[in-house]
Chain A
Amino acid sequence: MTNFFLQALAEVGTPSVLGLIVIGVLFGIVGGSIPGFTVTMAILVVFPFTFAMDPVSGVSLMVGVFVGGYSGGIVSGVMLGIPGTPSSITTVYDGYPMAQKGEPGRALGIGVVSSFLGTLISVAVLVFFGPLIASFSMNFRPWEITALIVFALTLVAGLSSGALLKGLMAAALGLLITTVGYDRNSNLRFDFGLPAMGSGFEILPVMIGIFAFSQLLGNIEKLKDEKSDAKKIDTNVMIPYGQILKDMAGQKLNTLRSSLIGSLVGALPGTGGTVANFLSYDQAKKFSRHPEKFGTGIPSGIVASEASNSAVAGGAFVPTLALGIPGDLPMAIMMGVLILHGITPGPMMFEQNPVLVGAIYASLLIGAVVMVLCNLLLVRWFAKISLIPQQILVPVVLMLCAIGAYALNNNLFDIWVLFIFGIIGYLLWKAEVPLTPLILGVVLGDNLERQLFRALELNESWLTFLTRPLSALFLALAVASILFSLYQDRKIQRLKNAAQQENI
């Protein structure tokens, strides 16, 4: 193993490939930090440039975009409160409040360092335990994947403190959105007589619509209420290195746990960064002695989110390479790049193309170093976005969202989807419905339905979900997650009441 890894490192270490990784990382960060552009879009844009390259160069460039893109989400998440990618949704929970409290530099620094460590740990996990995780994932059949997705959704609903009912309802609503259009059997559903609805809704415009509109218009509303605070927030973009080192020193266990969760979830087919950051954030919250502080702008929340989503970048390669099953959309495109270069991802790849597998790991490793350097050196430049007044930023970002939605498929219908879901998102936000379970439902809906019916086609008894140990375990965890959320909500409520009484 060491031999092929060293050989791969030598191939990736050439100036031209290193240059490509730097370009990829820079482009990824820019793509990830522009709301609505997303890491997927950045990968799609870079994809055509790899046509004329050899496999190692092409894959290295793409891995660079991948690593940069996942970290680029930090900038927009912290500064604008809009996740650049779905995998950085929970970064917003604590990164944005910390920035709002006047410490954007600290939030960004913690995020970047966590991303770096997450990537490093995931590469270490993959190099040594990759084959093991792959063989473990191979045991997952439709019953287990269905149960895992249900578990992920209940976890997210559990994250919506004090609004479990609305959280569960939002998740179901998200799943329902994915049922519009032609289904797996080519049957048309909920088209309401409109031909454009036949192909269903693209995830990206739905996601941007729900998040961006509620966030941006919420900012405009807040602007009216808190006029005096508007300037104060964005002035401090210095990176307090000492403070960040101190913060990170207290987060060793959290970093390790979150990175391992990210690597493991990344390796599970059909899940990806979105599940990883929710799962890791939830675990960090549950292990914390102060769960009530999550969401108020604490380092633990940012570390849990960023270490795990960056660890996915490494972990997601395992099912794609070893099983030929991409974990998420960016991975599906990455698989396309490999196929374009004449390599068929699948169980044989580790044996037939070990150097290319090693090159991917080496690119991830080098990409992580380049990412942390670029981010720390240029973060202030990226952070300048937040200095633009909201009155200017909002129309510009809305316009970029529209163009981003259009550019995904060159389809005007996607702008309408963005608009309609913008209105829905804003109204739901006003009704205090947590929007993240809805997004996760939209992201996982297709897969849940596919896996559920594949399971039922293989064995028509619904009881099989309970008789298969792993599937039963995931479902039990889903129930436990709901019960635990109820218990934790009551605990927080009791603490709040007690604090109020003390004040009186």
Chain B
Amino acid sequence: MLTLTKDRALALALLLIVAVMWMESGDIRPPTSWQPYGSALFPRILLVVIGLLSLLILVRSLLVKVPERPGAKQLITEWFQSRRTILALFLLFGLYAALLPVVGYIVATIGFLVTSLALLMGINTRRKWMINLTLSCTLAIVIFVVFRYGLNVWLP
């Protein structure tokens, strides 16, 4: 069985995206007499270019010999496990974006800052907690005041 490498994963993912986008491009309004080229032509040219380049990347990656490694499933699991902090940070950001309109800027921002600072700095000492809470609350409020009153930008 073929070993999954970065280039192979990239090429396969891109080929999948190209296939999905090509199918979706079928929904674009077809050319008319006054729009002879239609709106689908430009993205389709790009999809062909991306598809060809992805194929080239795939072919080139198949020509390079790589040492035998575990199956794709195990590799992906290992990849995710070694990047738990990064994944948690992405998750926190996603939660932040989702909660902003629900609980408002101040609560969501303090929540995001406290949790992500705790994740990255650690929570093993009282000092770290103090820095975390002081920074999160002060910054969230200062940014709010600057945007709301200084820049006249209404935050959610």
Residues of A within 8 A of B (CB): 45, 48, 165-166, 168-169, 172-173, 175-176, 179, 183, 185, 187-190, 192, 217, 220-221, 389-392, 394-396, 398-400, 402-403, 406-407, 410, 412, 415-416, 419, 422-423, 426, 428, 430-433, 449, 452-453, 456, 460
A220 — which chain B residues lie within 8 A by C-beta?
85-86, 89, 120
A176 touches B117 (CB 8 A): no
Contact in complex: B37, A456 (CB < 8 Å): yes
Interface size class of B (residues with CB under 8 A): 35 or more
- Extra contacts, 4 of them, besides A391-B120, A395-B112, A407-B155 (Cβ < 8 A), are A169-B14, A176-B50, A179-B42, A460-B36
Instruction: Establish whether residues B94 and A419, one from each chain, have CB atoms under 8 Å apart when the complex forms.
Output: yes
* 24 pairs, CB–CB < 8 Å, chain A vs chain B: A166-B10, A166-B57, A168-B49, A169-B49, A172-B50, A176-B46, A176-B47, A185-B35, A189-B28, A189-B43, A220-B89, A402-B97, A402-B100, A403-B105, A403-B143, A406-B156, A407-B151, A410-B153, A410-B154, A412-B100, A415-B97, A433-B10, A452-B42, A456-B37
Give, as a whole number of angstroms, the nearest-CB distance from A155 to chain B.
17
10 closest A-B pairs by beta carbon, nearest first, are A395-B116, A391-B120, A187-B39, A169-B53, A431-B10, A179-B43, A187-B29, A172-B49, A407-B153, A176-B46
Within 8 A of A (CB), among B106-141: 109, 112-113, 116-117, 120-121, 131, 135, 139
Q: Which residue in chain A gives the minimum CB-CB distance to B140?
A: A399
Interface of A is mostly: helix
Supposing A185-B39, A453-B37 touch, asked if A422 and B50 sit within 8 A by C-beta, the answer is: no
In the complex, the answer to whether A169 meets B54 with C-beta atoms within 8 Å is: yes
Contact assessment for A449 and B50 in the assembled complex, using a CB-CB cutoff below 8 Å:
no
A176 near B21 with CB under 8 A, answer yes
Cβ-defined contact, B10 with A189, below 8 A: no
Query: Of all chain A residues, which has the CB nearest B117?
Result: A395
Within 8 A of A (CB), among B11-60: 14, 21, 24-25, 28-29, 35-37, 39-40, 42-43, 46-47, 49-50, 53-54, 56-57, 60
Task: Give the interface SS of chain B, mostly helix, strand, loop or mixed.
Answer: helix
The reply to whether the CB of B71 lies closer than 8 angstroms to some CB of chain A is no
Closest partner residue, chain A, to B56 (CB atom): A165
Chain A proximity of B4: nearest CB distance (Å): 12
Q: Which residues of B contact A428 (CB under 8 A)?
A: 10
What's the least CB distance linking B86 to chain A, in Å? 5
A192 to B20, CA, bound (A): 10
Q: Which residues of A lie under 8 Å from residue B73 when comparing CB positions?
A: none
Interchain CB contact under 8 A, B7 and A422: no
Also in contact, A217 and B25, with CB within 8 A (given A179-B42, A391-B117, A395-B113):
no
Q: What is the bound-complex CA distance between A449 and B89, given in angstroms?
A: 37
With the chains together, A192 CA to B23 CA distance in Å?
Answer: 11
Contact of A398 among B21, B49, B116, B139 (CB under 8 A): B116
B78 nearest CB across to chain A (Å): 14
Tell me, in angstroms, the Cα distance from A179 to B24 when the chains sit together: 12
**B156 closest partner in A (C-beta):** A412
Return the chain A residue nearest B139 by Cβ: A396
Q: Bound complex: CA of A415 vs CA of B94, how far in Å?
A: 9
Q: How far is the CA of A8 from the CA of B92 in the complex (A)?
A: 53
Knowing A190-B24, A396-B139, the reply to whether A391 touches B121 (Cβ < 8 A) is yes
Residues of B within 8 A of A188 (CB): 28-29
| B65 interfacial by beta-carbon distance below 8 Å | no
Would A176 and B97 be within 8 Å (CB), given that A190-B21, A407-B147, A410-B154 are in contact?
no
> Are B112 and A399 within 8 A (Cβ)?
yes
Determine which residue in A185, A396, A399, A406 has the highest number of CB atoms from chain B within 10 A of its CB, and name it: A399
Instruction: Give every chain B residue within 8 A of A431 (Cβ-Cβ).
Output: 6-7, 9-10
Judge whether B120 and A395 touch: CB under 8 Å: yes
A392 with B121, Cβ < 8 A, contacts A189-B25, A400-B143, A403-B147 known: yes
A396 to B113: give the CA distance in the assembly, Å: 7
Question: A422, B85: Cβ atoms under 8 Å?
Answer: no
A220 to B49, alpha carbons, bound, how many Å? 34
A424 CB → nearest B CB, Å = 10
